C-alpha cells in the first residue's frame, strides 16, 4: 500500500505521516523534499524532477520488500500522473491532500517558525492549486487536530479496502 500525503508547506503532512507510521508499523516514510538535502547545492527547480525520480525508486524498492510507503510532498497533477504511470497497478494507493485555509497555513504552529521563503512558497502553492489539486481526497484540516485528520484518512482507507474486498 502507498499513501500519498500532499498539501502545501505547513499543512500537517509530516505530523500525519508520523501518526500513519504508528498505524502501519511496517511502513517507510519518504519525505520527498528531504531527498533534495543530499544535493542541496542544486536549485529547487532543477532538483524537483530528480527528487521525484528518487522517490519513485525508493518506493519501488520498498514495495519489492513488501513494505508500505507513506510519501509526503506537495503533488501537482503532472506529478500525480507520473507516480500512477510508474507504479505497479496491483499496488493499492491512496492520495490525500491536506488543505487548511491559507491564513491557517501561514501561521507559526507549535515550535515551527516559518521563514520568509516558506511563507512565499505557501502562497505560491495556494495560488497554483497544490492545496486543492482535483485528484484524490482533499481534507480541510483547518479546525482539526492531527488525530482527527488521521481518523479521516484511516476511514477513507478502510472504506476503500472494504469496497475492494466486495468486488473480489
- Tell me the DSSP string of 92-131: -EEEEEE---HHHHTS--TT----HHHHHHHHHHHHHTTT
What pLDDT score was predicted for residue 127? 96
Count of other CB atoms within 10 angstroms of residue 130: 24
Tens digits of pLDDT across the chain (168 residues)? 999 999 999 999 999 999 999 999 999 999 999 999 999 999 989 999 999 999 999 999 999 999 999 999 999 999 999 999 999 889 999 999 999 999 999 998 777 899 999 999 999 999 999 999 999 999 999 999 999 999 999 999 998 765 555 454
pTM for this prediction: 0.91
What pLDDT score was predicted for residue 143? 95
What pLDDT score was predicted for residue 159? 86
Cα 136 to the center of its chain, rounded Å: 11
CA distances from 76 to 17, 107, 133 (A): 19, 23, 7
Going edge to edge, which strands form the sheet with 93-98?
27-31, 68-72, 2-7, 93-98, 137-139
What pLDDT score was predicted for residue 163? 54
CA distances from 32 to 89, 102, 135 (A): 22, 22, 19
What pLDDT score was predicted for residue 167? 52
What pLDDT score was predicted for residue 166? 46
SS3 164: helix
What pLDDT score was predicted for residue 136? 94
Q: List Cβ neighbours of 140 (8 Å cut-off, separation of 6 or more).
A: 99, 100, 101
Quick one: CA torsion of 17, 139, 23, 50, rounded to 10 degrees?
-30
What pLDDT score was predicted for residue 59? 97
Amino acid at each position: 500500500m502507498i499513501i500519498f500525503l500532499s498539501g502545501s508547506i505547513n499543512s500537517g503532512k509530516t505530523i500525519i505521516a508520523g501518526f500513519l507510521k504508528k498505524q502501519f508499523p511496517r511502513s517507510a516514510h519518504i519525505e520527498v523534499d528531504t531527498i533534495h538535502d543530499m544535493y542541496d547545492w542544486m536549485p529547487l527547480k532543477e532538483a524537483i524532477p530528480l527528487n521525484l525520480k528518487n522517490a519513485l525508486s525508493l518506493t519501488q524498492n520498498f514495495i519489492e520488500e513488501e513494505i508500505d510507503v507513506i510519501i509526503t510532498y506537495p503533488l501537482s497533477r503532472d506529478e500525480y500522473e507520473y507516480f500512477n504511470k510508474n507504479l505497479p497497478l496491483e499496488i493499492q494507493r491512496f492520495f490525500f491532500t491536506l488543505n487548511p485555509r491559507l491564513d491557517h497555513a501561514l501561521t507559526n504552529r507549535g515550535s515551527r517558525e516559518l521563514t520568509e521563503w516558506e511563507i512565499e512558497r505557501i502562497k505560491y502553492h495556494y495560488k497554483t492549486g497544490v492545496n486543492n489539486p482535483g485528484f484524490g481526497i482533499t481534507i480541510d484540516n483547518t479546525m482539526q487536530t492531527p488525530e482527527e485528520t488521521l481518523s479521516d484518512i484511516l476511514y477513507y482507507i478502510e472504506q476503500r479496502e472494504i469496497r475492494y474486498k466486495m468486488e473480489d
